[in-house]
Amino acid sequence: MAVDRLQKILAHAGVASRRAAETYIREGRVRVNGRVVTELGTRADAHRDKIEVDGRRIVQEKPAYYLVHKPREVVTTLSDPEGRQTLGELLDRVPERVYPVGRLDYHTSGILLVTNDGDMTDALLHPKRKVPKVYVAKLKGHIGVPELDRLRNGVELDDGYTTKPAEVFVIREEPKNTWVQITLTEGKNRQIHRMAEAIGHPVQRLTRQSFAGLTLEGLRPGQWRPLQTKELAKLKKQYLNPARKERLEADLEEAEQAAAPVRSPGMRPTPKRKTPARRGPKPAAASGGRSSGGRSSGRPDSKPSSKPSGGRSSDAKPTSGRPSSGRPGSGKPGSGKSGSGKPNSGKPNSGKPGSRSSGKPGGASSTRGKPAGRSSGAPAGAKPGGRPGAKPKPAGASPARSKPQSGGASNTRKPRGGASGGPRGPKKTTRRGGTR
């Protein structure tokens, strides 16, 4: 049990009613953990605190639950100063001190749940739980559809309160009366009587047939029985457990608010300083990482570049094991081309017929008597060690072709594409590299 008011704990333990328990507290007859308590509203825990009344320790009773069929002309209290029959007289053989969950009017019969479990009582009576209560009422006169709609949609009572929507339907009609069944999810004082008077059809007789799913089956007026295990489990699942969860969350929130520091209205909250994150050492660059400007990229999964930066490195090994063919127009070192600006590293003329280098003076090369008309120099993207005799890809517009110089005179061809000197199309070549 959670922390609760002291007079409520004494009433649940069967010591006395709440009013009598308050009197005991004022008189100084109650002690909590050895300290006399005289202030009303003191809270305690029945399971953890030691509570004594007149020197006798209070022991909480085991929770008990009973269903009672209250007859008419019985007061729903444990005692009545006017001497009327009370509910306590019907439950005189119940060993525990129990009290009713809710009330029924003096002239109203029906089902009542009595228990000594305060948490269950609070859960069933809280308006948020919307516990259904089914009544059968005998109303005076014939009730039409407009009156039934008013009962269903909400009726304004004598105090200005408008009731919540209810389920209403007619059971049977008599010449002078109408029997209706009404299901409410709220519990105002004499609500059914006040609703019937608001539509002009007062109540002649009223019985409560069901409460929170519990019925009067097998009970005659004045009889009672313990609640069955299945019925109790259903009540706890639908009403008690959600109420306990909400109360626990409310207690935790209240405790957090009480523990929070109190600030004055003009006091500003102190801003929180952000702690800088600690920076660890930079990861070492991988051995095969890509470098840019002498700085390591720091990426261990970097792959080495497959493209050379312009030409073959001095320590790079050629891909092919054969020497360069010295083919004209190949744009590679050792091609033996005139005017290339690079040393002729090609093979000497073999003297065989059909050889590509004619050995003419001036270093000019020819193929079958035709000029080898391409500008020397490999393009920027040329790969070293390529296939011998491969034609390099043109980079941009092709340069103008020129005949080899003979006797100091130059004979320059006109570029294709007209006089404007625009770009010409791709040059068709034979398999051996000659022009058609």
φ, ψ (nearest 5 deg) of residue 340: -80, -20
At a CB cut-off of 8 Å and minimum separation 6, what does 142 contact?
173, 178
CA distance linking residue 30 with residue 292, whole number of Å: 87
Q: What angle do CA 225, 229, 230 make, to 5 degrees?
A: 110
Task: Give the pairing of strands 203-211 and 109-115.
Answer: parallel
Which contacts (CB < 8 Å, 24+ apart) does range 245-251 have?
247/2, 248/2, 251/2
Count Cα neighbours of 358 within 13 Å in the Cβ-side half-sphere: 14
At a CB cut-off of 8 Å and minimum separation 6, what does 40 contact?
7, 22, 25, 26
CA nearest 64: which of 134, 111, 13?
13
CA distance linking residue 183 with residue 135, whole number of Å: 6
Catalytic residue (one of 49, 92, 105, 301): 105
Tell me whether residue 105 is one of the annotated catalytic residues.
yes
**3-class SS of residue 44:** strand
> Residue 245 CB: number of other CB atoms within 10 A?
10
What are the residue numbers of the active site? 105
